[in-house]
Chain A
Amino acid sequence: MNAGINGNKAFVSKRQGFDKAKRQRTVFLFLAIAPSLIGYFLFTLYPNLMSVYYSLLNWDGLTDAVYIGFENYVNLVKDQFVWRAMYHNLLYMIVVPTLIVFISLLLAYLLNNKSYKENSLYKVIFFFTNVLSTVVIALLWSFIFDGSFGMLNGILELFGFNMNDFYWLGDTRTAFWALVLPMVWGGVGLYVVIFMNAISAIPKSIYEAAFLEGARPMAILFRITIPLIRNVIRVCIVFIILGSIKGFEIIMVLTNGGPEGSTDVIGLYMFNLAFGKEYHNYGYASAIGMFLFVVLVGAKLIIDKFFPEDSVEF
């Protein structure tokens, strides 16, 4: 009898234990999920939704917003600065990824397939630019490009070319192309490491077979290495292209779109409309933001269509 009652008691307390654990679980879940999720709703999803609405307003942030329908979009299509910026984006979108992928593939291939004794040190050095902030990268390059005391003109002078204090970022003919250098320089390291990992995943036996067949190193690179890691290359290209559409910090620090708008890109144009020193136009900036959104999604779809994902088997 006693045992029965005790058992019952134990059962009851165990039941209570379960209830308590269940309550605790609910509290825990709430505490674990809610802060991040609410922040995500508030700071990410809500602003993204609102940007659609803002793009339909005429609003400078000071006076009251006026609903103007699609007028911002009509202006956008007619705005030659938008198309000029888009054209610059398009050029960067082609030049920067091509250079980054080409250089980092070559460097990764050399680091992986040649056993020079300095290779392990190079890997660490190459990646270093990726831990620097874009501001530091931009400042470094502003010291390189300066007309009077820049490293570039200094080096050219050592080789006998007197540049007469030519300021690379101050001339409409050179500023645009000069900016390619810091973009590539700052990006290569990451892709060297990514490509090195991809290349080292290719079984050694494939290389050995090719070597025994008498294949030359360049033939091995183009016929074996690159085809076998083409999926990785593809992901990297998508990554760099999307980054180059979104990124404008280096340009902002070095030229802020100048001289005469020759380095303006769409993100920077939008940013200056929203947060620049002159007058603000939140509505129009949002419309450009929406346009950029469409461009980004479009770019991704085009890449997916023209570079379909293949499965590769070793």
Chain B
Amino acid sequence: MAERRTLMDGIWRLLLLLWAVSIIFPVVWILYQSFRTNTAFFQDIWALPTSLNWDNYSKAWNDYNIGRSLVNTVYYVGVSLVLGTFLTTLNAYALTRMNFRGRKLIWALIMLSLFLPGINALVPQYILMKSLHLTNSLTGLIILDSFGENVFFLMLLGGFMSSLPRDLEESAFMDGASIFQTFWRIIVPLSTPGIVTVAIFKFLGLYNNFLGPFIYLGDPAKYTIGVNMYQANMKMQYTSDWVTMFAGVIIVMVPSILFYMMFQKRIMEGATMGAMKG
């Protein structure tokens, strides 16, 4: 079907371009402003930097303690990611490919979580964490975020696992493999694409998690990078050190951008799947 180019096409293309610019431009603007000085920035907010000046980055790194918060973030995101993904994989396997008494009941309980908005549970959850001495601790946050059920991940991974051939376990058993070996040597390798998708979404959720770290981490030395930037922004209202703030925001965005570039296709596929099931 050959398309004719009309005046309308021009308008449509302009519209698409505008939306794309509204996304790209603020990021680019912050990026190039982050190489300028405050005085230059206050004089003209559009001018390009005269040289590639990395001072703001080292200042942001030191003043905002980004190094420290980055280490915290790596610890929190890394451990939660590995532990959480491992537990989800085990859980999805047992709940979709094994038959046992009470399985239906467990599924029903998990499905209940779809009706719980979670926001009303924030206070009791905080009190509980406090009484378990898990507040103001990154490890506490890891425990909170790694142990639990998530319908989206279970459906995603469970759906993937149930598409594997039915007699896999049986033939492994005939060959003398224990169920642990079967899981680890056969099921996990075959489910890798599904596990990776789950891990990608866990990563995004953990790295972008703000409310949890904000509620549970009181000590600035334990801030994750998101909370750190929030607090830095609160302070900036008094210091008006704009260019350093720009540099900080760019540093926070770099992992997101790299991650998006690496897994763009999978993220898009998984996101649409998740939305349709939620």
Which of chain B's residues have a CB closer than 8 A to the CB of A139?
Answer: 229, 233, 245, 249
Are B148 and A293 in touch, CB under 8 angstroms?
Answer: no
The answer to whether the Cβ of A140 comes within 8 Å of any Cβ in the partner chain is yes
- Chain B's nearest CB lies how many Å from the CB of A31? 7
Inter-subunit contact B180/A38 (CB<8 Å):
no
Contact present for B123 and A51 (CB under 8 Å): yes
**Which A residues between 257 and 312 are near B, CB-CB below 8 angstroms?**
267, 270-271, 274-275, 282, 285-286, 289-290, 292-293, 296-297
A166 within 8 A of B: no
Chain A residues 34 to 88 lying within 8 A of chain B, measured CB to CB, are 35-40, 42-48, 50-51, 54, 61
**Contact indicator B275/A274 (Cβ below 8 Å):** no
Which residues of the other chain, A, contact B146 by a CB distance below 8 angstroms? 39
Q: Number of A interface residues at 8 Å Cβ cutoff, please give it.
A: 93
Judged by a CB distance under 8 angstroms, whether A165 is at the interface is: no
A47 to B276, CA, bound (A): 28
Stretch at the interface among B53-61, B112-120, B157-165, B191-199: B112-120
Of A47, A116, A154, most B-chain CB atoms within 10 Å = A47
In the complex, what residue of chain A is closest to B211 when comparing beta carbons? A249
Contact string against A for B residues 232-266, beta-carbon threshold 8 Å, 1 for contact and 0 otherwise: 01000000001001100100110010011000100
Q: How does the 8 Å CB contact mask read for A84-127 relative to B, with 1 for contact and 0 for none?
A: 00000000000000000001001100110011101101111111
Q: Which of A3-11, A142-150, A172-180 contacts B (4 or more CB under 8 A)?
A: A142-150
Chain A binding surface SS class = helix
**CA gap between A188 and B22 in the complex, in Å:** 12
B42 touches A33 (CB 8 A): no
Contact of A46 with B124 in the complex, beta carbons under 8 Å:
yes
Residues of A within 8 A of B109 (CB): 37, 40, 45
Question: Complex: how many Å from CA A286 to CA B121?
Answer: 8
Contact B126 A274 (CB under 8 A): yes
Near A by CB (< 8 A), chain B positions 22-73 give 22-24, 26-27, 29-30, 41-42, 45-46
- A77–B246 Cα distance when bound, in Å, is 44
Q: How far does the Cβ of A224 sit from chain B's closest Cβ, in whole Å?
A: 14
Most chain A CB within a 10 A radius of its CB, from B210, B215, B268: B268
B272-A194 in contact (CB<8A)? yes
Evaluate contact between B119 and A282: CB separation under 8 angstroms. no
Closest approach, in angstroms, between the C-beta of A266 and any C-beta of chain B?
A: 9
Bound Cα distance A144, B23 (Å): 12
* B79 CB, min distance to chain A CBs, angstroms: 14
Given contacts A24-B180, A129-B23, A274-B122, contact A115 B3 (CB under 8 A): yes
On whether the beta carbons of A131 and B230 are closer than 8 Å, the reply is no
With A47-B128, A246-B119 given, is the CB distance from A143 to B211 under 8 Å? no
Which chain A residues border B106 with CB–CB below 8 Å?
33, 37
* Choice from A148, A208, A249 contacting B1 with Cβ under 8 Å: A208
Beyond A40-B148, A208-B1, is A47–B88 a contact (Cβ under 8 Å)?
no
Chain B: interface secondary structure? helix
Query: A194–B270 Cα gap in the complex (Å)?
Result: 10
Q: Does A253 contact B (CB under 8 A)?
A: yes
Tell whether, in the assembled complex, residue A50 and residue B148 are in contact, meaning their CB atoms are under 8 Å apart: no
Instruction: State whether the Cβ of B152 lies closer than 8 Å to any Cβ in chain A.
Output: no
Complex Cα spacing A148 to B237, Å: 13
- Residues of chain B within 8 A (CB-CB) of A36 are 87-88, 90-91, 147-149
Q: A114-B3, A235-B276 are in contact. Are A286 and B120 (CB under 8 A)?
A: yes
Let me know if B121 and A51 touch, CB within 8 A. yes
B75 within 8 A of A: no
A132-B256, A139-B249, A296-B117 are contacts. A285–B210 as well, Cβ < 8 Å?
A: no
Taking a contact as CB atoms under 8 Å apart, the answer to whether A143 and B30 are in contact is yes
- Which of A38, A131, A194 is close to B267, meaning CB atoms less than 8 Å apart? A131
Inter-chain contacts of A48 with B (CB < 8 A) = 116, 120-121, 124
Question: Which residues of the partner chain B approach A255 to less than 8 Å between Cβ atoms?
Answer: none
Closest B residue, CB atoms, query A217 = B8
Given A124-B264, A131-B267, A246-B119: A151 touches B91 (CB 8 Å cut-off): no
Known contacts A140-B249, A275-B215: A43-B147 contact under CB 8 Å: yes
Would you call A1 an interface residue if the criterion is a C-beta within 8 Å of the partner chain's C-beta atoms? no
User: Does any Cβ of A come within 8 Å of B108's Cβ?
Assistant: no
- Whether A135 contacts B210 in the complex (CB less than 8 A), given A29-B100, A253-B233, comes out as yes
Which B residues, 184 to 219, have Cβ-Cβ distances below 8 Å to chain A? Answer: 204, 207-211, 215
User: In the complex, what distance in Å separates the CA atom of A103 from the CA atom of B110?
Assistant: 35
Q: Does B15 contact A (CB under 8 A)?
A: yes
Set A40, A132, A142: member contacting B208, Cβ < 8 A: A132
Q: Give the residue name and chain of the A residue nearest to B33 (CB).
A: A143
Residue A21 at the chain B interface, CB threshold 8 Å: yes
B204-A131 in contact (CB<8A): yes
The answer to whether A282 and B123 touch across the interface, beta carbons within 8 angstroms, is yes
If A35-B87, A36-B91, A149-B45 touch, does A270 touch B119 (CB 8 Å cutoff)?
yes
In the bound complex, how far is the Cα of B245 from the Cα of A149, in angstroms?
13
Contact between B19 and A126, CB atoms less than 8 A apart: yes
What are 5 sample pairs from A and B whose C-beta atoms fall under 8 A apart? A61-B127, A123-B268, A136-B226, A246-B117, A292-B117
The 4 nearest A-B residue pairs measured at CB: A39-B147, A289-B120, A133-B208, A32-B94
Inter-chain pairs besides A37-B149, A119-B16, A126-B19, 16 sampled, C-beta below 8 Å? A32-B91, A40-B109, A40-B113, A44-B148, A50-B124, A54-B127, A107-B19, A127-B267, A133-B256, A136-B226, A151-B26, A151-B45, A190-B275, A194-B272, A275-B126, A293-B119
